[in-house]
Amino acid sequence: MKKILVTGGCGFIGSNFIRHMLSHGKVEKIINLDLLTYAGNLENLADVEADPRYEFVRGDVCNFDLAAELMGRVDAAVNFAAESHVDRSIIDSSRFVRTNVAGVQTLLDAAREAGLERFVQISTDEVYGSLGPEGRFTERTPLAPNSPYSASKASADMLVRAYHHTHGLPAVITRCSNNYGPYQFPEKIVPLFITNLLADKPVPIYGDGANVRDWIFVGDHCCAIDAVLRDGRPGEIYNIGGGNERSNIEITRLLLAELGKDESMIEHIADRPGHDLRYAVDCSKIQSELGWRPAHGFTEGLRLTINWYRDNAHWWRRIKTGEYMKYYEQQYGKRRQ
Ligand code: NAD
Ligand code: TYD
């Protein structure tokens, strides 16, 4: 795939993916279509702005004419564009349905019209719902989303499946676990806790902190998407994960230790409604079919991430003002116990 449309490329994973493809992939052109919502930031790609292979277009994935025009100029599309934060979907899910469901339907129609060679839908392991203490999600695990966010992502996955089945659209779905790394908006647990601790502020743990996620360094996720884009089989789903299960309290203790803080910084707050207990992914399919494996260990990846936030304080300090602080107060203000 030489010419690619990336949607949502100004967000966390999309910006890391564009940088990865420009430096490792053999691409002639990357068009980045992004609406620049609160989570999209042009600064995330300031270092590649001048690359002649890179083009930024501000726009909405719900705009069919724009999507079809851009897809007419590429071979493949990778859709990262989404409302991505579970807590925000609990406050108000309308934008999640608009972008994550109607936006995907629009992109799929545009991909059909353009006759794309490949459409990669970036989904999430959260579509499978929650696990108890044992077991892992495989690609055959039934969908059982629990949050408005994961329900919108599962709906999109169903549409992608249907467009492949009905129209023969060469679409592939990836379902990855929780990412961490540079350029993650400081609302998700890892960047929120790192930046709070760097600013000497407490870290708010939901409930008892026993909930478990599988953690993957964002660069490893980007390599997996690159492999799926090249060699994934149309109509298939590929799980992606770091093989790294940690409870929230374990992550918090690691961060406290790395940043030289003690447990007095922990603030236990009211639990997230409908909080999924545990996610864990079986990645044997992508490993055996495409030979992909994560390259970063958790401690190494976390240190890289902490150092990035330490070195780029201007980036997150600017974000953590104005609208962000209003969100923070709405999200956390009333939950303190
Ligand atoms: P993010 O919130 O950091 O970025 C989302 C990007 O999409 C932003 O740049 C935003 O401006 C853009 N966007 C939003 N609505 C748009 C619209 N209507 N039109 C065009 N652009 C729009 O998200 P992220 O963490 O980088 O996640 C990217 C994708 O990966 C999402 O689809 C998410 O569901 C999926 N995913 C994320 C994780 C994770 O841990 N962050 C894990 C698995 C899957
Ligand atoms: P998050 O980073 O929001 O990702 P997701 O909900 O998509 O898995 O949350 C990861 C875990 O951290 C989840 O169990 C909720 C918990 N969490 C907290 O305890 N405190 C926080 O402030 C946040 C944002 C999350």
Distance CA 186, CA 199 (A): 13
Q: Clarify whether 163 is annotated catalytic.
A: no
Handedness of CA 101, 106, 109, 114 (dihedral sign): negative
Residues in the chain: 337
Residues 34 and 40 sit within 8 Å (Cβ to Cβ) = yes
- CB 206 near ligand 2, within 6 Å: yes
Structure tokens that stand for 329 in this block:
């107060």
Element at 230 (helix H, strand E): helix 218-231
CA–centroid distance for 81 within its chain: 9
Indicate the pLDDT class of residue 319, thresholds 50, 70 and 90: very high
Asked whether the predicted pLDDT for residue 1 surpasses 90, the reply is no
Delineate the domains of the chain, giving CATH numbers in brackets: 3-180+217-240 (3.40.50.720)
Residue having the nearest C-alpha atom to atom 15 of ligand 1:
82
Q: For residues 264-271, give the mean pLDDT.
A: 97
Residues 240 and 306 sit within 8 Å (Cβ to Cβ) = no
pLDDT value of residue 334: 83
Residue having the nearest C-alpha atom to atom 13 of ligand 1:
81
Residue having the nearest C-alpha atom to atom 10 of ligand 1:
40
Residues 35-75 have pLDDT tens digits of 999 999 999 999 999 999 999 999 999 999 999 999 999 99
Residues 234 and 118 sit within 8 Å (Cβ to Cβ) = yes
Pocket probe for ligand 1: among 10, 37, 281, 315, the residue whose CB has the most ligand atoms within 8 Å is 37
Asked whether the predicted pLDDT for residue 290 surpasses 90, the reply is yes
Q: Clarify whether 125 is annotated catalytic.
A: yes
Q: How far is the CA of 232 from the centre of ligand 1 (A)?
A: 21
- CB 86 near ligand 2, within 6 Å: yes
Asked whether the predicted pLDDT for residue 156 surpasses 90, the reply is yes
Q: For residues 109-136, give the mean pLDDT.
A: 98
Handedness of CA 202, 203, 207, 209 (dihedral sign): negative
Query: String of b and e for 133-168 (b: at least 16 CB within 10 Å)?
Result: eeebbebebeeebbbbbbbbbbbbbebbeebbeeee
Asked whether the predicted pLDDT for residue 267 surpasses 90, the reply is yes
Residue 44: count other Cβ atoms within 10 Å of its Cβ: 24
